[in-house]
Amino acid sequence: MKVLYLPDNCVDCTSDAHEVNYGTLKEALNDILKVCESDLVSGIVYVSLYESNDYSKGEVKRYQSDYYHDSTYGDKSKMALTEEAKKHKVYGLIFDSDYNGPPERHLLPGLTGLKEAIKLIKASPTKFKSLHVDVCWSAWGAHNCSDDIDFELESIMVNYSNQDWYVGDEHYSDHIERLATLLGRDLEEGEE
């Protein structure tokens, strides 16, 4: 028998969820775009649009963008500092890796890739299961594993989540209030 000991310093990727149920697909997509275009989001790290995502069966079909990460680590020489980077909303992020799947499933980076994904969904809504957008929330200026916007198309539910350790942070209440105002919704703050 083999025993695997996991280190006790593992990464905690639990989130502080802010789920919003929508009446229509169009309304949900408009709000996702509105949030990502707003100053609440300082950068878009990654976009992934899933046709299927049954990892248990190895059946994952998706469109995706190149991957960036925030500037807290990595090779600073790969930092996106061009006008094109501003257009894609990846300015100041560090390029990490190219999309390595079929070319016809490659989305452009950041905001431009999100707009492409939204067009694909609008053209064929029943084809897709979910949309995942990793973001850098401006309140914290970094991307952690739970800083994302997840859209489940079947239920028309969007989760505007942030890392749970932000709860109680000096920027937290303002971030949630601004997000709620932009969406025109009541959002509850998480508990410490």
Average pLDDT of the chain to the nearest whole number: 86
Nearest C-alpha neighbor of 62 from the set 46, 74, 76: 46
The helix or strand, by DSSP H or E, that contains position 52, with its residue range, turns out to be strand 41-54
60 vs 158, residue with greater confidence: 158
Neighbours of 116 (CB within 10 A): 17
Say yes or no to pLDDT of 88 above 80: yes
The mean per-residue pLDDT over the stretch 121-135 comes to 94
CA distance 168 to 148: 19
Q: What is the mean pLDDT of residues 29-42?
A: 97
Residue 2: predicted pLDDT: 52
Residue 36: pLDDT above 70? yes
Q: What are the domain boundaries of the chain?
A: 19-183
Question: Does residue 33 surpass a pLDDT of 90?
Answer: yes
Residue 6 banded pLDDT, cuts 50, 70, 90: very low
Is 52's pLDDT higher than 80? no
